[in-house]
Copies of this chain bind each other. A is one copy, B any other.
Amino acid sequence: MPANVPDAPLVISEIGSRHIGGRVVTLTGLPKRGRISTPGASVHPIDPNGEIVVGQLYAQYVRLAAPRSPHPLLMWHGGGMSGVTWETTSDGRPGWQMAFLRAGFDVWVSDAVERGRAGWAPYPEVYPEAPYFRTGREAWEEIFRFGPPGSWHADPQHRRPYADLRFPVAGMDNFMAQFVPRWATNDALTQSAYDALVGELDSAIILTHSQGGNFGFRAACAAPGRIKAVISLEPSGAPDPEHTDAVPLRGIPHLFLWGDYLDRHSFWVDAVPKVRRWAEALRAAGGTADWVDLPALGIHGNSHALMADDNSDIIAGIVLDWLRGQGLV
């Protein structure tokens, strides 16, 4: 647990969930199939044509009996991941869902459209193309920055993580088990579902990771009156200030948090300046955009998995202190 939250049992009024957004589509022209539903059962004829729901997200909420913040915290995962990002870390420590519940927030952990409990829709009938499956190498060398290019190996004994890496690589298989397929075609569907989620709440604080960052920035643009803060862990993208007006967001404090090794991986060398332009636009509009570079604070070795690195409690504590500084808890 972060040092700045109580380590006591939680008193909870409800754990529940909803699917939000989405619409009914009708599939037609598909050939019939036969399925055996469970061993020993007869062949069950299946007509795949008909109505299905597509474009929904899944959100699980935990409501405290006595929340200390009036604003629920929405936790939005990154690409190729699900809400599991915020749960128990891959090496078995309590995750940020627990940390922020203990800090007094009602927490909503969602699975975006196409991922996890949100389900997904057939391609090419609904989604135009096949998904991507993240490999261990892509995660290790490109996106999560566990080691330099060329340091991944199929055999765990031969992997070469950064010497001061904070991600617990002994749990790499568990971390890979969290990956879910992703599509590159569903941004509009996903944004629409996130906007619908925000639209059902009186107020909210958005906490995002990676690909979730862009959805969070745009959700704030769509409903600036409801969003009380936006916290972005290494957002992989942001609106282009030439096409999106940051002025409506000047009353919404933003926090950007960044780990280590960002200058050694081309994906991030490309992404960070684009996000920085959005932070600068927020500031130019008169808003708050706090840009926290952890190595500049003397905190070295953090990967892209800030909420799963072995100092994840310290980083959660930084976020909590910032929220307290904003008067939000």
Known: A39-B187, A53-B173, A179-B53. A88 touches B16 (CB 8 A): yes
Q: Assess whether A15 is in contact with B240, with CB atoms less than 8 Å apart.
A: no
A153 to chain B, nearest CB (A): 9
Chain B residues, CB < 8 A from A116: 111, 116-117, 119
Please choose the segment from A128-136, A254-262, A299-307, A308-316 that sits at the chain B interface, where 4 or more of its residues have CB less than 8 A away. A128-136
A95 to B244, CA, bound (A): 42
Q: Assess whether A16 is in contact with B87, with CB atoms less than 8 Å apart.
A: yes
Q: Assess whether B50 is in contact with A135, with CB atoms less than 8 Å apart.
A: yes
Q: Assess whether B184 is in contact with A36, with CB atoms less than 8 Å apart.
A: yes
Q: Which of A44-97 contact B (CB under 8 A)?
A: 44, 46-53, 56, 58, 60, 62, 65, 79, 82-84, 87-88, 92, 94-95, 97
A293 to B174, CA, bound (A): 42
Q: Assess whether A134 is in contact with B177, with CB atoms less than 8 Å apart.
A: no
Q: Assess whether B17 is in contact with A87, with CB atoms less than 8 Å apart.
A: yes
A158 within 8 A of B: no
Q: Assess whether A238 is in contact with B40, with CB atoms less than 8 Å apart.
A: yes
A142 to chain B, nearest CB (A): 8
A3 within 8 A of B: no
Q: Assess whether B117 is in contact with A180, with CB atoms less than 8 Å apart.
A: yes
Known: A137-B47, A173-B53. A83 touches B117 (CB 8 A): yes
Q: Assess whether B117 is in contact with A15, with CB atoms less than 8 Å apart.
A: no
- Count residues of chain A with CB under 8 A from any CB of chain B: 89
Chain B residue with Cβ nearest A129:
B33
Known: A12-B12, A119-B179, A267-B44. A135 touches B49 (CB 8 A): yes
A35 to B52, CA, bound (A): 27
Q: A174: which of B19, B37, B117 is its contact (CB, 8 Å)?
A: B19
Chain B residue with Cβ nearest A178:
B19
A225 within 8 A of B: no
A87 to B49, CA, bound (A): 28
What residues make up the interface of A, taking CB atoms closer than 8 Å to B? 9-19, 22, 24, 26-27, 33, 35-42, 44, 46-53, 56, 58, 60, 62, 65, 79, 82-84, 87-88, 92, 94-95, 97-98, 101, 111, 116-117, 119-122, 132-138, 142, 152, 154, 173-174, 176-181, 184, 187, 211, 213-214, 236-240, 267, 270-271, 274
